[in-house]
Chains A and B, each alone.
Chain A
Amino acid sequence: MFWFCRTAVKGPYRVQKGNDMSETVAAGPAVSIRSMSKWYGDFQVLKNINLTVKFGERVVICGPSGSGKSTLIRCLNRLEVHQDGDIVVNGVELTMDMKKVEAVRREVGMVFQSFNLFPHLTVLQNCVLAQRRALKRSKQEATEVAMRFLTQVRIPEQRDKFPGQLSGGQQQRVAIARALCLEPKIMLFDEPTSALDPEMVNEVLDTMVGMAKTGMTMLCVTHEMGFARQVADRVIFMDAGQIVEQNDPESFFTNPQHERTKAFLGQIL
């Protein structure tokens, strides 16, 4: 318990709300990637990616494993560093400048394949921590916000349990609530249902569908094609580090243009 009771550590970086460009640039795209490339050593994982996502848009990214789709969305909050081209998220260009990275991360929530909940904190503490540290909210306010989102993902009664006591589906819903607590403008999902037992996939997808209805900007790496049909505005197919094809779900599934897309869809549908 006492890890959490320690008074807030003042972080060295604190982006002032006054400098926050989000309000003024809100009319621009949520994400804009221009001729971006990334290498792991000699191996090029992403090749000349160009992508624009508008606010409120819901994009599903699919493709075979190793196609660079996870790397792509991990570049959007700089968990991975791109080497060439530029990425502008919410009007802020991602560079070495940690302040800009923090400004982006404040507005971008992320959900991971392996949940990555903090095992030493309770469900509620998982949701409260970042609010207290990054947004400097009071304990009471943070708790209220956390409970609001835990209710939204329908597990408020688990607030005092540790992640280890929850099922995979419950953990992933907590992870979604945790990301929402910072009230991000953009949500990134990195294969959120791949690590789940089949019977738990739907509870997580339902949560995501619910989120889509609120108008959240979503970029989602997933193989759940039912989910893509239901909520996506656009489906992107990636292969070998490139965006091969993108289209609205209806055309994408019924009339794929590219051979590789057809082959891929043939395998998973």
Chain B
Amino acid sequence: MFDFRFYEIWREPEYIDRLLHGCLVSIELSTAGGILGMILGLVLVSAQGKSSPKLLSGFAQGYIETVRNTPFIVQLFFVAFGLPQLLHYRWSFEASALLAMTLNFSAYFAEVVRAGISSIPTGQIEAAGSLCLTKRQIFLDIVLPQALCNVYPSLTSQFVFLFLTTGLISEIGVEDLTWAGRFVADRNFRDFEVFIVLTVLYVAIVFGYKAIFNALNRYAFPWRSIR
């Protein structure tokens, strides 16, 4: 009854090529999206600072809530099909995917970091203030590094969660891992085996990410391990 035919996947060198290429595209885009999202997220965090104008912080808050309360796929389709029409300018599907992932991750990043910032004890800020540091210096030198350290675990799991949804970018024609899988399944009709392989590949990539995050953790927050 269980007639697994995984060899239908490795039989064709083209299938393997497509899958490997798909892995690379998925990894590249999510990594780039994660990094750009982090940068945009930091901008959003500082836009919500106590001293920033009401309008700006309101806009940042609205943006974060909008992104967090709508599905990624809707955001993706809007960026890929709506925006180019609206702006009368076309860009590649990869660019759309990257933009959507950046916008999406930035909101989650900002939300998590903001929570981390509010958890920093006031004693830290008072001590820094009594040492004559300016507000900006207190934020950059004292609050932000500690906040990032505290929320690092939830940031990385948030990133992994988002990575697991990136298969959706195949829907707009980006040749990522999911796209490659569907390409193969459409030709050898072994959907079940193909998606099992795909799942294993996704899980393997997640393991890779987690290993990198652990190494980064030790490098970026050397004070954590000894507390």
Question: What is A's interface to B at a CB cutoff of 8 Å?
Answer: 1-3, 6, 9, 11-13, 77, 79, 102, 105-106, 108-110, 112, 114, 116-121, 129-130, 133-134, 162, 164-165, 175, 178-179, 182
Given contacts A3-B141, A162-B223, contact A13 B126 (CB under 8 A): no
B136 touches A (CB below 8 Å): yes
* Chain A residues with CB under 8 A of B121: 116
A11 touches B145 (CB 8 A): no
Q: How far is the CA of A50 from the CA of B146 in the complex (A)?
A: 40
B154 touches A (CB below 8 Å): no
Of A11, A79, A106, which is within 8 A of B137 by CB? Answer: A11
Given contacts A105-B129, A114-B123, A118-B127, contact A164 B136 (CB under 8 A): no
Given contacts A3-B141, A9-B137, contact A112 B132 (CB under 8 A): no
B133 touches A (CB below 8 Å): yes
A-B contact pairs, 13 of them (CB 8 A): A9-B141, A77-B130, A102-B132, A109-B130, A112-B127, A133-B133, A133-B137, A133-B141, A134-B131, A162-B223, A164-B226, A165-B226, A179-B130
A179 touches B131 (CB 8 A): yes
Q: How far is the CA of A109 from the CA of B132 in the complex (A)?
A: 9
A108 touches B223 (CB 8 A): no
* A13 vs chain B, min Cβ distance (A): 6
Question: What is B's interface to A at a CB cutoff of 8 Å?
Answer: 121, 123-124, 126-134, 136-137, 140-142, 145-146, 149, 220-223, 226-227
* B116 vs chain A, min Cβ distance (A): 13
* Chain A residues with CB under 8 A of B222: 1, 162
A118 touches B142 (CB 8 A): yes
Q: How far is the CA of A102 from the CA of B130 in the complex (A)?
A: 9
* Chain B residues with CB under 8 A of A118: 124, 127-128, 142, 146
* Chain A residues with CB under 8 A of B127: 110, 112, 116-118, 175
A120 touches B146 (CB 8 A): yes
B134 touches A108 (CB 8 A): no
Q: Which residue of B lies closest to A114 (CB)?
A: B123
Task: Please classify the interface of chain B as helix (H, G, I), strand (E, B), loop, or mixed, using the class held by over half of its residues.
Answer: helix
Q: How far is the CA of A119 from the CA of B124 in the complex (A)?
A: 9
Query: Nearest 9 A-B pairs (CB), nearest first?
Result: A116-B127, A130-B131, A11-B134, A134-B132, A110-B130, A164-B227, A116-B123, A162-B223, A105-B132
B226 touches A12 (CB 8 A): no
A178 touches B131 (CB 8 A): yes
Q: Which residue of B lies closest to A11 (CB)?
A: B134
A79 touches B133 (CB 8 A): no
Q: How far is the CA of A117 from the CA of B227 in the complex (A)?
A: 13
B220 touches A2 (CB 8 A): yes
* B6 vs chain A, min Cβ distance (A): 45
Q: How far is the CA of A114 from the CA of B125 in the complex (A)?
A: 13
Q: How far is the CA of A261 from the CA of B127 in the complex (A)?
A: 32
* Chain A residues with CB under 8 A of B133: 11, 129-130, 133-134
A120 touches B149 (CB 8 A): yes
* B211 vs chain A, min Cβ distance (A): 21
* B36 vs chain A, min Cβ distance (A): 20
A162 touches B226 (CB 8 A): yes
* Chain A residues with CB under 8 A of B136: 9, 11-12
* Chain B residues with CB under 8 A of A130: 128, 131-133
B129 touches A182 (CB 8 A): no
Apart from the given pairs A105-B132, A116-B127, A133-B133, 7 other A-B contacts in the complex at a CB distance below 8 Å = A79-B126, A105-B129, A105-B130, A105-B131, A130-B132, A133-B132, A133-B137
A112 touches B137 (CB 8 A): no
| B124, B136, B141, B221 pick with most chain A CB within 10 angstroms | B141
B126 touches A116 (CB 8 A): yes
Q: How far is the CA of A79 from the CA of B130 in the complex (A)?
A: 8
A3 touches B145 (CB 8 A): yes
B130 touches A129 (CB 8 A): no
| A6, A134, A178 pick with most chain B CB within 10 angstroms | A134
* A90 vs chain B, min Cβ distance (A): 13
Q: How far is the CA of A179 from the CA of B149 in the complex (A)?
A: 25
* B43 vs chain A, min Cβ distance (A): 16
Q: Which residue of B lies closest to A122 (CB)?
A: B223
Given contacts A12-B136, A105-B132, A134-B133, contact A112 B145 (CB under 8 A): no
* Chain A residues with CB under 8 A of B124: 116, 118
* B21 vs chain A, min Cβ distance (A): 34
Q: Which residue of B lies closest to A130 (CB)?
A: B131
* Chain B residues with CB under 8 A of A179: 130-131
B137 touches A164 (CB 8 A): no
